[in-house]
Structure 1
């Protein structure tokens, strides 16, 4: 065996996808049953033929107490790669300016199946990128909630709908994925006001974008995912050429998602190291608690407002997304793009120009050290600063975007010994500051994102495979005006898991055991949420809510 990753790709269901964006009904029931800090019944000695439905410690989407209307968007049973196609019509009875719009996906599957990647498009706009849990033989149900209020523009008109969760059903993989998607609209009435949403939500025509000529703010969002069962699904484990490992790329594991406008670099971002529900060669880690973002893939966002003066000339402009580090011609990444546009209603045409473009020298060093324990040390990073002005109806406004990326990781593995090991410890940081300066004091929006991964998989002579893994999704944000902080938030979503099973034997002989936990903490001016969920052998053993003040917007 060359590496444990080879075992991952060859022996287990590990393709494609996978974060629970909201607590499932099962999770809420568990919280109500066990209470803060209470424990469930004694867990079984090992995994059986059924386990708890997937749960997450993340907060549900907060909603106003106003009149609501529900619209079914799609209902499909996915057996293959045929997309569901249907139609959407706006709700009746809740107006057309809503205070909140919530998407809910409910699914069920039984038997045996891989994890699968999926999407939901309304009017060509990607409103959800998701993946699926792996089922028990007796079957599971799960749900995902997402705040989609920012897509209100397309939801005010009838639209075509496309949904796909690509699947394969045969004699071995029997799970048919049954899902239903609904939208719930909350009317703006009483003291609630319509949400401040983009005026337009656009998609690319191929790689071309045409914006309204009075655009005063332009934000692109990219649902970037490495998936499909190949090496880019585990891009963070790839090594440079010359190292004896399954997945090799010329520049090692450094990845960076870039967006260009007319060939000029306009934005950079660190991709989130998503682990799908078959990841790290051990699906027993994820049967109940998925890894962060696995069921609700967050898009990378780029503020393109410094380029708005160029985009506002009424002509189409080329917008390209690429992933640095992927060999030319190699597939494995999906990068659909939505563009959110705010318009200046006091002007028919907003002129302006890009005034500053400082593209720092990218850094990427990935060094291989041979030995009885192979090792790859990687350090990478990049900085980009862009600035532009717009002549709006309220005067000249200057927008500056400064973004800095950094990545460090150590990858260690052995090959051919009594016990084989594959381990990675990595950190990704993405710091961003967007400053808007016009009439009145300047406003700055700061975001500091940190992603962490610390895991080890070992395979002994007895074919017992053990994976110990910790994942972190952390972010701090703040809005400042004239140097005074107006609002702030701190997110810390931490997953920890430890699971062992016997490899290369039928399911009923794996004798799998495993524990997992998630603590999701979100504090800020809007409130707090602090919840911990723990499991053992597929049973929820603890569900503790420390604070749960309602968070507007379901942050």
Structure 2
């Protein structure tokens, strides 16, 4: 997601993708352009494909389908925005007036009657263009962040359907402004215009039923972002490790629960932060959340690879995990409500450890309000947030080949109480985070292999309906290499294995779930006498979701080149259990990558 210079000679750019990453082991600098192909590179590759399809392609990110609860009515669908994003970089977001759809009022139940809300983004693009980041905000609160598909000359389409039920109170509130920012560039080389439609689909539960305390969305969503007007997205921009971006806000006096939902994405020199070397501030990044100057939570982000990253061929037609719908991360602020309930303004801010230019960060503060009380009260019982621990160890015998290992860990714990009509309830929020990273450089700097795993364990206890445990694991493997250096024939290779594993365990009345989402992709480009003579790529992916409420989903899909070889999916808990048992047997002894 960077702005790159005009294409250079084909051989130079293709070679630099593998062979100029590491001129010196302790001072290598893989710049964003080193990990991207230009339009000329892709055109050269597609020209030698045996059967290049000229028809418009459909790219897709694998995710489970969204279904309303049984007995729901709907959908009630409203087109929120239709726009063509041409030269929009450094220009104001596109805005539209928003009023709650009439079906919200007609139903009579308002936000609490919404059983499912789906925000659908559909877009297409034809021509030459890089992938671009985009964001959608309603009343300043971010609803969706994604990257665009990187198009082909013959055109590409894609869509995103995101569950936005947790924003029901925002959707049902009074008139506000919808803002969409997609920073696109148009010049003599890059002419692709992104045409997008944004639609809201609402489903409603039966009048006699209401959401449980554990599943009810927040009564108010307060944006923690920049305000219009501006010539960018509403996100804060963090450009270095000392930068803290913040805003001031107040909390309603009758709040009894507070959860901060954080959106984050990496760009420019930190787009491929997980490949950064010690002189680039190393490969570790975290987003810290600050309340009146104190660190109250941390986000260790999933390594999203945009559709033009590493090698754009890999992500065609199956795109990287999280690329079209970036994940958000929750920080429980309920233990700190005693401070926030004093009626004064408080500062919420964000920093990025080891940051280089640029990180886009903002958040939404979800608040649950006591309908039986005009004011709640609270206090902080205990708070412990030791400094981050971590180190990088580098070993190289010749200044080129070698290995460096990076580790990091952080623990944060806070306990507080809130007195409301629900009683005097204590809540404890705990985070335990670990990071392990190894980078091996070999073959005189022509090969690089990265193994990395982020583990995040979050626990909320004390408040029965909202108690939960969440464990996430983000394994990442990347190999960059080639063979035949210095000869007339050369092969440039990429390997990427990416995983998103998640286990949720809730209190009584709150469903538990597991998610295993894994991609193992590979691409090769063959050069002979400075010309591209062949290319191949493949992408197998397995997505397994199991829910205690019966909402299970399994999808096993694989593509070679632009063709989908097979695509099996079933919404059966029995199917996911069978697959999980087979996977468990296959992985006895570890999950090494080679």
Q: Tell me which interval the TM-score lies in, with the shorter structure as reference length.
A: 0.7 to 0.9
| Residue 443 of structure 1, CA deviation | 6.6
Aligned with 2:58: secondary structure?
coil
Q: Equivalents in 2 of 1:504, 1:122: separation in Å? A: 52
Q: Distance in 2 between matches of 1:120 and 1:163?
A: 5
- Given candidates 533, 541, 544, the residue that maps to 2:565 is 541
Of 399-408 and 76-85, deviating more is 76-85
Q: Which residue of 2 aligns with 1:28?
A: none
Q: Does 1:56 align with 2:61?
A: yes
The Cα offsets for residues 96-123 of structure 1, whole Å up to 9 and x where unpaired, read as 3322111000010111211110001111
Q: Are residue 154 (structure 1) and residue 192 (structure 2) matched? A: no
Residue-by-residue CA offset, 1:26-82 (whole Å, 9 max, x unaligned): xxxxxxxxxxxxxxxxxx757655674112332111124413211111111111223
- Are 1:433 and 1:447, in contact at CA under 8 Å, matched by a contact in 2? yes
In 2, Cα distance between equivalents of 1:14 and 1:492: 33
CA distance in 2, matches of 1:402, 1:423: 33
Q: 1:234 aligns with which of 272, 287, 295?
A: 272
Please report how far the alpha carbon of residue 478 of structure 1 lies from its aligned counterpart in structure 2 after TM superposition.
Answer: 0.3
TM-score by length of structure 1 reads: 0.84
State which of 353, 356, 364 in structure 2 corresponds to 1:338: 364
Match in the other structure for 2:188:
171
Give yes or no for contact 2:57–2:157 (8 Å, CA) kept in 1: no
Please point out which of 176, 181, 196 is paired with 2:216.
196
Cα RMSD (Å): 2.5
Structure 2: distance between partners of 1:504 and 1:452: 35
Tell whether the 8 Å contact from 1:201 to 1:340 is kept in structure 2 after alignment. yes
Residue number in structure 1 paired with 2:416: 388
Displacement after TM superposition at 1:283 (Å): 0.6
Counterpart pick for 1:434 among 460, 463, 468: 460
Contact 1:8 1:14 in 2 (8 A): no
Question: Are 1:266 and 2:296 an aligned pair?
Answer: yes
Q: Quick one: distance in 1 between partners of 2:31 and 2:358? A: 19
Match of 1:34 in 2: none
Say which is worse superposed, 195-204 or 312-321, in terms of deviation: 195-204
Give the structure 2 partner of residue 68 of structure 1.
75
Structure 2 CA distance for aligned equivalents of residues 533 and 127 of structure 1: 28
**Equivalent position SS for 1:455:** strand
Report the Cα offset of residue 549 of structure 1.
6.3
The residue that corresponds to 2:99 in the other structure is 89
Match status 1:322 vs 2:322: no
Q: 2: CA distance between counterparts of 1:387 and 1:11?
A: 44
- TM-fit CA distance, 1:537: 1.0
In structure 2, the residue matched to 1:29 is none
What's the counterpart of residue 410 of structure 1?
A: 438
Q: Distance in 1 between matches of 2:417 and 2:527?
A: 60
Secondary structure at the aligned position of 1:154 is classed as helix
Q: Are 1:46 and 1:537, in contact at CA under 8 Å, matched by a contact in 2?
A: no
Match of 1:220 among 260, 265, 268: 260
Give the secondary structure class of the aligned counterpart of 1:493.
strand
Cα displacement string for residues 496-541 of structure 1 (whole angstroms, at most 9, x for unaligned residues): 11111247999x9463211102111001202211111110111011
* 2:499 is aligned with 1:472: yes
Task: Give the drift of 1:181.
Answer: 0.4
Q: Does residue 1:446 correspond to 2:469, yes or no? A: yes
Between the aligned partners of 1:236 and 1:79, the Cα distance in structure 2 is 31
Q: Hey, what does 2:547 align to over in structure 1?
A: 524
- The aligned residue for residue 373 of structure 1 is 401
Given that 1:14 and 1:115 are in contact with CA atoms closer than 8 Å, whether structure 2 keeps it comes out as no
| Structure 1 portions without partners, runs of 5+ | 16-43, 242-247, 551-555
Question: Aligned residue for 2:237?
Answer: none
| More off after superposition, 108-117 vs 49-58 | 49-58
Residues 1:422 and 2:438 aligned together: no
State the SS of the aligned residue for 2:357.
Answer: coil
1:2-17 matches, within 5 Å, as 2-3=20-21, 6=30, 9-10=33-34, 12-13=36-37
CA contact (8 A) 1:11 1:504 kept: no
Deviation digits for residues 440-475 of structure 1 (CA, Å, limit 9, x no counterpart): x79731011000101201133244321111100000
